[in-house]
Amino acid sequence: MRPTPLKLCRADLERLRQVIRFFGYTAVRAATGALGLIVALLLVPQAALAQAQPRGTPSGTAVLTDLASTTPVTTARQVDQTQGIAAELEGRPADDRRSRGPVRGLFPGVLIAIDPAQQYDETYSRHDIVELLGVDPNFDWAKDIRFEHDIWALDFAFKPVRMVEVDIPQADGRLRRQLVWYMVFRVLNFGEQPVERFAPVFVLESDMADAQGNPKQYVDRVIPVANGPIAEREHFPYGLLNTVEISGEIPTSERPADGADGAAATVGAFNEVWGVATWRDVDPRTDRFSVYVSGLTNAYRWEDTPEGRTFAFKTLKLNFWRPGDDLDEHEREISFGWPDAIDYEWVYR
C-alpha cells in the first residue's frame, strides 16, 4: 500500500522555511560561540596578567588580582600559580623571587636612596710588605708598594624603621607576642658586572649601655614568622627576602635617565632586589639609635700593627631618632636623622 503523499499549502511551506532558517542561524551562532570560547581560553592567561599588572611594577611581572575588584589576592596558592606563569613568560626560574617590587607605587620620599659615595682612593692603597721587611729591613723595594683594589658598590634605598607585633615560638613551644623592629630595603647594581657575593649585615646600635658600659648592639635576626605579616603590610605579595635569602649574586640593572630621582624612578626596575632586616628585644628606652649596614661595597682598608694586620670595611651608618619613653612603643615616634647631627655617613669599621 503506497503512503499518501503529503500535501502542503503555501502557508505551510513558508512556516517550514522559517523553521529551517531559525535552526540554521542557531547552529551558526553555536559554532561561532564555541570558536570564541576556544580563543578566549587561549588568551585569558596573558590578558589576565596584563590587566593584573599594577602601576609601578616591571614589565612582564604579574601580580594576581581579582579582575572584578582589582583587589590584590595574596593567598599562597594563588600567588605561587601566578608566580609560575610570570616566570614562564619571562624565561626565569619559578622560585626566583628577585626583581619584584611592591604591588603599588611608593609615594615620593617614602623610599630614601643613599649615594654609594665611591672614591678614587678606594681603588688602591700603599703599604710596606712587612713579611719581606721582617727578613731584611733594607729591602727598600718592599716599601710603600701600591696595591690595587677592584671595587664595586650597590645602590641602596630603604624605608624608615617600623614595628610589627607577631607571635614568636619560644623554647617551651608556646607562642609569645613580641614587638619586632624592621627595615625594608632595596639594592640595585648599576655596575658593569654582576656582584657575585652580596652578604649584608645590619647592626642596630642603641644609645643605651650594656653592663660593660658599651652601647647595646643588636644584629639582625631571621624571624620567619615575621616575614609574612611584614610583606602583607608593605604590599609585597611575593614576600621579602631576609638577610640570608638575599645573599648571593646581584645582577646588573640599567641606570635611570639623567635628572630622574634615583629612588622613585627605579621602583619596579628590572633586577631590583628587595629585602627586610628584623630585630627583636630592642631596649624600649632607646631614644637614639644607628643602623650599620655592611656588605654594600667591598671597599676596605688595612693596617699592619705590632699585634698583626687589621682590616676595616666601608659601612653605611644610618641615624634615627625616637623621642619618647619605654611605654606604648610605636613607630610613629621614629624619624630618620638626628636633630643635631647628620642623617647618614660612610664609616670604616
* Contact between 89 and 39 (Cβ < 8 Å): no
Q: Which residue has the cell 658586572?
A: 193
Contact 302, 215 (CB under 8 A): no
| Strand ranges (E), 85-174 | 112-114, 124-127, 145-148, 155-158, 162-169
pTM of the full structure = 0.67
pLDDT in tens, the chain (349 residues): 555 555 555 666 566 566 556 555 555 455 556 655 554 455 444 444 344 443 333 333 333 223 233 333 333 333 343 344 344 434 444 445 454 566 566 666 688 999 888 888 887 787 778 788 778 888 888 787 788 888 999 999 999 999 999 999 988 889 999 999 999 999 999 988 999 889 999 999 999 988 888 999 999 999 999 999 999 999 888 889 999 999 999 999 887 665 455 555 555 566 789 999 999 999 999 999 999 999 999 998 888 877 788 889 999 999 999 887 677 777 778 889 888 888 999 999 9
